[in-house]
A and B are shown apart, each in its own frame.
Chain A
Amino acid sequence: GNSVTQMEGPVTLSEEAFLTINCTYTATGYPSLFWYVQYPGEGLQLLLKATKADDKGSNKGFEATYRKETTSFHLEKGSVQVSDSAVYFCASKGGNSGGSNYKLTFGKGTLLTVNP
């Protein structure tokens, strides 16, 4: 089945700093890839997604590009804000021969804290 490995946290940045959170995946084929964000005490919200190689997902200043050569989907933002403080999860779905397309597989999450 799929697996997802993402950068261990916590990550602490100052406001307006550049953010990168690394994510790599393993799958026998080409899964769809997602970034979710979780604010304290809440469920997960979809941040962005990419469904095929070289696709770039973007939302709220965040971007991630699906790189099949490096099996990666790194999350970036050029200038973070205090309100971006949250836990970020990378996830994959499908792309396994004979496997289920129903299951989302998550990384362990990366806690981001942005200080003013």
Chain B
Amino acid sequence: DGGITQSPKYLFRKEGQNVTLSCEQNLNHDAMYWYRQDPGQGLRLIYYSQIVNDFQKGDIAEGYSVSREKKESFPLTVTSAQKNPTAFYLCASGTGGKMNTEAFFGQGTRLTVV
């Protein structure tokens, strides 16, 4: 089946450790996105990538890093510099450059830092 796979669904880490969230898609989409969701704040864009080997900062990129070495994969690293990393992280993909096309979302990863 085509879709977006995020893993793991739940992730626990100790404060000060870096952690990498996986996102894979087999929809042949050029664009991929990472959003962070906090209660009452909606979705905020962390990073997005329009094409392989290229990515741009979103609205809240500080403390995060990404790579886009393959079209299918867009992993997000939450570094120890992120002051409040506990959140629900959503990955999405889409055909990107066309204004009228929607994004498709994965099931999310809930990260808890203790």
Contacts and interface: CB of A to CB of B under 8 A. Distances in A.
Interface of A: 31-32, 34, 36, 41-46, 49, 51, 89, 93-95, 101-109
B108 A42 contact: yes
B52 to A, nearest CB: 15
B34 interface: no
Contacts of A89: 42-43
A103 B105 contact: no
Contacts of A42: 107-108
Contacts of B92: 44, 104
A43 B97 contact: no
Interface residues of B, number: 28
Interface of B: 4, 6, 31, 33, 35, 40-43, 45, 48, 50, 58, 90, 92, 96-108
Nearest to A93: B99
A43 B106 contact: yes
Contact of A101 (B42, B98, B108): B98
Nearest to B105: A43
Given A42-B107, A45-B105, A108 B41 contact: yes
